[in-house]
Copies of this chain bind each other. A is one copy, B any other.
Amino acid sequence: MANIRVELSPRDQATREAIIAELTDVMVKYGSPRESTQVILFEVSHDLWAKGGVTYTKRMQQREGTA
């Protein structure tokens, strides 16, 4: 059995479902029974997620030269 949690940027529903299906396939391939494999996606706002002490919102603005 396996529980997969993913923190990621927002995606459309079709992409969410593809990610879920393919992550599940990986765990099943390595021995987790399919019906005992869960996935939960946590779509995190770039205002609340930071690397290097700076939110992704600001990092992207800086990369685009708009801030």
Closest-by-CB residue of B relative to A21 is B53
A18 to B24, CA, bound (A): 14
Instruction: Report yes or no: B35 in contact with A52, Cβ–Cβ below 8 A.
Output: yes
Interface size class for chain A?
35 or more
Minimum CB–CB distance from A2 to chain B (whole Å) comes to: 5
Interface residues of A: mostly helix, strand, loop or mixed? mixed
**Residues of chain B lying within 8 A (CB to CB) of residue A41:** 48-49
Q: Please report which residues of chain A, range 8-67, place their CB below 8 angstroms from some CB of chain B when the two chains form the complex.
A: 8-9, 11, 13, 15-32, 34-44, 47-56, 58
Binding site for B on A (CB under 8 A): 1-9, 11, 13, 15-32, 34-44, 47-56, 58
